[in-house]
Amino acid sequence: MPPVRTSAFKQQLQDFDHFGKPTEIFSRRFEGSVVPYFVNEFWTAKQRAADSLHEVSYRACFKPQLPRFFVQRLTGPRDKVYDPFMGRGTTLIEAALLDRVPLGCDVNPLSRLLCEPRFSPPTLAAVDTRFSSIPTSPAGPVRQDLLAFYHKDTLDEISALREYLMNRRSTGKFDSIDGWIQMVATTRLTGHSKGFFSVYTLPPNQAVSIESQLRINERRKQIPPRRVVREIVLRKTHTLLAKTSPPSETSIFDRGQEAVLLTGSAGRTPRIESGSVQLVVTSPPFLDVVNYKRDNWLRCWFNDVDSEAVEVWHYKKPEEWQAAMTEVFKELHRVLRNSGFVAFEVGEVRNGSLQLEDLVVPAGIRAGLCPEAIVINDQKFTKTSNCWGIENLKKGTNTNRIVLFSRGSDLSQSGAKPSRTGHQPGE
């Protein structure tokens, strides 16, 4: 499906009724620009299930249906789709599955490790065969403090696998099967079920401190059970491959070979050519809501990453966060085509007292982008007249909210009809 003009896309939003609900529309003023809001259930669990390759745990990631909604409507085959805060790589994997060229950047080196192997998934048999050559006993010392999470034999297997992967990299023998095993093992380090290497702990996308885990063990009267690393990696591999076609039958391998995956600041990406990107779909770190460095300490250890050297953004002051986002938007303005778009997820923080579009829209405008719409995916849908007045905009909502920018005003022609509700919050 070829990309559409801004006016046509707004008309699609207005007319959208795939799940039996009309779109509700109102508008707000931001620094002189009146921006329409479109509220509906635009993507939902009711639509087709996402590809199983997405089932990799990562903190604060959005569902694949979100990027799919924008990629299908605002890009064409072989267009470049970029995520400057790629996280686990949801936008990139979905773009490749849709025959678009994926580009991604993240200051956290774990992001590339979690994303890249899924562009060339191995067979279950290949992973099983590779494990036959991986030792189960480590040659070097074992971190005894990690016994708070693991049975002794399980910790030996994890440590041996870590040694194997580090050795394969240092000798230049590391290949795509090693990368897959590393990715899967990284996501199985801690969790709350038998599908993880650890005893019961917090959800799998974060790791508590050793002291906290000892308290959890004491409170639950639990000791780490024996888990077999090979069995868990194979089981998770089966899950990841369950709903996906072989790479030879999809576009993911071909487009994955063209992928550009960067580790560094989203505000400076010289490897991405100016005027080359058709669509950006991303979700930034929401101020200091998530502490990626603290949550990923165990994953960093397993992958020999110095977590203290990773300069993950963690701004407490809204004005500092806005200034950083302005620099990112300037870079996005550089890499976008004249016909390009940015779909930028925002949320509410500070217990709903701060709506991030209040920071994001002005930041985008200052960087030269044109705010076109704010798309609200509301799966617990009620009439705008009841839910989207000034009162609730201040309190916040539990929805996906996407600020849509365009690069050039030449394509920015409003196609929205007058608001059905008459609400004009912020005016």
Structural domain boundaries in the chain: 6-111+246-301+312-411, 124-241
Residue 74: closest CA among 405, 376, 370, 414: 405
Q: Does the reported pTM lie above 0.85?
A: yes
Output phi, psi for 322, to 5 deg. -65, -40
- CB–CB of 229/158 below 8 Å? yes
Tell me the average pLDDT across 414-426: 36
Cα→Cα distances 178→113, 118, 151, 204, Å: 11, 12, 24, 21
Counting residues of the chain whose pLDDT is more than 70, the rounded percentage is 83
Q: What's the average model confidence in pLDDT over 402-408?
A: 92
pLDDT value of position 132:
97
Residues in the chain: 427
Nearby residues of 380 by Cβ (< 8 Å), 6 or more positions away? 398
Longest dimension (CA), the chain: 70
Confidence band (pLDDT; 50, 70, 90) for 368?
A: very high
Task: Give yes or no for a contact between 371 and 35, defined as CB atoms under 8 angstroms apart.
Answer: yes
**Token pair belonging to 222:** 């639990």
Place domain 6-111+246-301+312-411 in its CATH homologous superfamily.
Vaccinia Virus protein VP39 (3.40.50.150)
DSSP string, 129-157: HHHTTS-SS-SS---GGGGGTS-HHHHHH
Averaged pLDDT for residues 109-127: 95
Mean pLDDT of all residues in the chain?
A: 86
Question: How many C-beta atoms lie closer than 10 Å to residue 193's C-beta?
Answer: 8
pLDDT of 411: 40
The residue ranking higher by pLDDT, 205 or 362, is 362
| Residue 190 confidence (pLDDT) above 80 | yes
Residues 6 or more apart from 184 whose CB is under 8 A from it?
A: 233, 236, 237, 240
Query: For residue range 70-89, what is the model confidence (pLDDT) as tens digits?
Result: 999 999 999 999 999 999 99
The model's pLDDT over 270-313, given as tens digits with 9 standing for 90+, comes to 999 999 999 999 999 876 555 666 788 999 999 999 877 777 76
The model's pLDDT over 41-68, given as tens digits with 9 standing for 90+, comes to 998 755 556 788 988 877 667 889 999 9
How confident is the model at residue 289, as a pLDDT? 54
Do 178 and 113 form a contact (C-beta atoms < 8 A)?
A: no
Asked if 304 contacts 242 with a C-beta cutoff of 8 angstroms, the reply is no
Tell me what pLDDT residue 415 has. Answer: 36
